[in-house]
Structure 1
Amino acid sequence: MTIENLEATVTGMLERLDRIGVRLDLPAKQREIEELEARSADPEFWNDGAGAQRVMRRLGALRNQVETWTELHQQAADLRELIDLAEADDDLRDEIAAETERVLRGVEQLELNLLLSGQYDEHDAIMAIHAGTGGVDAQDWAEMLMRMYLRWASNRGFQAQVLDVTEGEEAGIKSATIEIRGPYAYGYTKGEAGTHRLVRLSPFDQAHRRHTAFALVEVLPQVEEDTEIVIRDDEIRIDTYRSSGAGGQHVNKTDSAVRITHLPTGIVVTCQNERSQIQNRETAMKILRARLTELAIRKREEEQAKLKGEHVAVGWGNRIRSYVLQPYTMVTDHRTEYSTSNVQAVFEGEIDPFIEAYLHQQLGAADEQ
């Protein structure tokens, strides 16, 4: 990289950081940090453990945003000062170029994080995957998607756990529920909600004909127990039954599986993965709370869309992505039109380009309003 290119890159980074600083409203964030620090210093702060954890989580997120911006801005400013010294020193120029690339990646990541400003974007996520039309191919496809998202979470350093899974009779799964924990897990995954379509030569067809299979992905935000979502005891019915599927003799001897029905909405949640009925109940309540939160979000979005005269596609009708393996190989997102022919990489969890394209599209749509 020439000195001129380095100067242009660093100048551009500083301009981008200035715009990011305006969007972040750093003075307001610093004031909030000071207020939360003062609250956390109160001797009675930890009397409400759940509330204290929420405050500390918010404080940590604010500190991370402000400190990251400050460090990147300082590093970019230092690079601008060093460039003049690199005019006659090739080794120093190469070192500065490498550092510039590193700082640039940090700026790009900070810009991406700015797109995640929704009410629950910072939260952990619960993802539900359901086999759709396509018979055993759809069940196999649902299992492929589950594996893809588990790989993606691992690649990002997130923690992922399968909370519940119902296996297919012949192959694959009928449904699965995954918990994904990490910074902005819900913000990153929320755009994956919708119908995913697979076209391939079916390994389950003796004639090896081309088949199309569908699977539905739902993404729910995890919320704390004492949020605006209140679940009263008289609003739910809890049934217990014996687990089915893998698990040896245990699944035949104990009524450890739990089914919770939310009477006002008709939402039904089941969990049978854990050996303990208590653990299954806690997990089922966590999923129910997330489903009720998602329902509230969807109602708000539908109300806003009605006011704007827009149509909101939901459920199976909202096909978001096609994965074609035959007669050609291509993964295409129908919302952003982003596509790649490296299907195998996508199945190994490399879906960040799709996620980022969706987030940038949403930001552009918001800016136009």
Structure 2
Amino acid sequence: MRAETEKTVAEIEQVLTLLRRHLDWDTAQLRLDALNAQTESPEFWNDPENARTVMRERDNLDAAVTMVRALDTGVSDNVELIGLGEAEGDEEIVREAEEALAELRQTARRTQIETLLSGEVDGNDCYVEIHSGAGGTESQDWASMLLRMYTRWAERRKMKVETIELHDGEEAGIKSATILVKGHNAYGWMKTESGVHRLVRISPYDSAARRHTSFSSVWVYPVVDDSIDIEIRESDLKVDTYRSSGAGGQHVNTTDSAIRITHLPTGIIVACQQERSQHKNRATAMNMLKARLYEMELQKREEAANAQAASKTDIGWGHQIRSYVLQPYQMVKDLRTGVESGQPSVILDGDLDEFMEAALAQRVGVATDVSEDG
């Protein structure tokens, strides 16, 4: 076996050791067996709230255990194939096995980061708010591009996306939008996307074909369940109703069923126009407000005030986390991690994993050059 391949195998095995230690491997397998037995009970769904909590724990643990087993099997099988290929002088078998091990190394790195997402709500679904900055149509178009980017990213990961609120721009794009992303570790992955995103391009809306710089902000916060007690006083709320906006058609509301709630002590504003029922929209908006307030408390406890500060500042220069340059050259660069890509069209189509992995690695302190092969 070549020295480089031995190094790859050693790195994967090191990650496997860390993952087993983090999971407390023997205990994790016993716990998973117990949770599986619990979910198979005929009375399991008699208490829906408890059932959902158990299912979330079971799904998260099952995903981690399954991945560790898959990595372990993949390493063993490909090492065996290399030995077989070398013994028979079959370079094709050796090459294919080495390529498979290189892919497993990348998977192991991603899995290490994801498994080490140990925040209180990293495993939860999340809300993603997008707001266009100053600049009218240009910034509103950029906000719609970001909305599409995150929707495509979620779809790539087999996550579900629901539109909670959408405010169309006057000519094109959107003024703001809120989506709900549902999937394993949705908040854990998405939380590093909070901040201001900058676009540089030749504006399709400028007849003189001049280069424009646009800004939009992204804010990510977790869905929280009823087990987390957040006190909200009615006297602290300003509630407005308005008519839902949309592309038209039979499903557009003709009554003021959309809800906007302002939390006066913090200035937090949430809105929902998902349902035709004002009552249902209010319930969803209250859940969003609860989630925002909880996320604020998380930020304080984790001493991560940067994202909180960014949400209170102007959407413009000095606060961006990532730049997307389409002209005069093509480059996407994350200003926190230094990760770059010369293919902005690919990134804008939802291929964000390299950027997210680097940001997460930085946040959880994983000493690995996650994106070196990206």
TM-score range, shorter chain: 0.7 to 0.9
CA separation of 1:348 and 1:74: change in aligned 2, threshold 3 A? closer
Match of 2:286 in 1: 285
Q: Offset of 1:145 from its aligned partner?
A: 0.9
Q: Which residue type is aligned with residue 310 of structure 2? A: V
- Matches of 1:167 and 1:24 in 2, distance apart? 45
Is 1:149 the equivalent of 2:150? yes
Mapped contact 1:3–1:93 kept (Cα < 8 A): no
The aligned residue for residue 371 of structure 2 is none
**Aligned-pair distance for 1:82?**
4.8
Cα distance in 2 for residues equivalent to 1:76 and 1:365 = 22
Counterpart CA distance in 1 for 2:84 and 2:252 is: 71
Q: Deviations over 1:27-82 (max 9, x none)?
A: 45346546656866888764432122112211221232123213422442344445
Aligned-partner SS, 1:268: strand
- Looking at structure 2, the residues matched to 271 and 344 of structure 1 have their Cα atoms a distance apart, in angstroms, of 31
Residue 321 of structure 2 corresponds to residue 320 of structure 1: yes
Distance (Å, rounded) in 1 between the aligned partners of 2:58 and 2:301: 27
Secondary structure of the 2:171 match is coil
* Aligned equivalent of 1:85: 84
Counterpart mapping for 1:271-350 below 5 A: 271-302=272-303, 313-315=309-311, 316=313, 318-350=319-351
Bigger mean CA deviation after superposition, 98-107 or 211-220: 98-107
The change in CA–CA distance for 1:165 and 1:311 in structure 2 (over 3 A counts) is closer
The unaligned stretches of length 5 or more in structure 1 are none
- Aligned residue pairs total 361
1:156-305 equivalences under 5 Å are 156-231=157-232, 236=237, 238-248=239-249, 251=252, 253-302=254-303
Distance in 1 separating the partners of 2:337 and 2:47: 44
Q: 1:12 to 1:334 in 2, by over 3 A?
A: closer
Q: 1:38 to 1:228 in 2, by over 3 A?
A: farther
Change (3 A) 1:46 1:19: same
Contact 1:196 1:322 (C-alpha < 8 Å) held by counterparts: yes
- Structure 2: how far apart are the matches of 1:99 and 1:245? 47
| CA displacement 1:174-228 (0-9 Å, x = unmatched) | 1011111111111111111101111222222232222211111000111113323
Counterparts of 1:311 and 1:297 in 2: how far apart (Å)?
A: 11
Q: Structure 1 residues 101, 252: closer, same or farther in 2, change over 3 A?
A: closer
Compared CA separation, residues 17 and 117, structure 1 to 2 (3 A): same
> C-alpha displacement at 1:356, in angstroms?
1.2
For residues 174 and 335 of structure 1, the distance between their equivalents in structure 2, rounded to whole angstroms, comes to: 26
Question: Quick check: 1:141–1:198 contact (8 Å CA) kept in 2?
Answer: yes
SS of the residue 2:218 aligns to: strand
Q: Is the 8 A contact 2:257 2:276 kept in 1?
A: yes
Give the aligned partner of residue 127 of structure 1: 128
The aligned amino acid for 2:341 is T
Secondary structure, aligned partner of 2:114: helix
User: Are the equivalent residues in 1 in contact too, given 2:130–2:178 (CA < 8 A)?
Assistant: yes
* Percent of matched pairs sharing the same residue: 47
User: Is the 2:124–2:224 contact (alpha carbons within 8 Å) kept by the matching residues of 1?
Assistant: yes
Could you report, residue by residue, the CA deviation over 1:245-289 in whole angstroms, capped at 9, with x for unpaired residues?
A: 533577573222122343554433222243333442343233222
8 Å CA contact 2:198, 2:215 repeated in 1: yes
* Higher mean C-alpha deviation, range 216-225 or range 261-270: 261-270
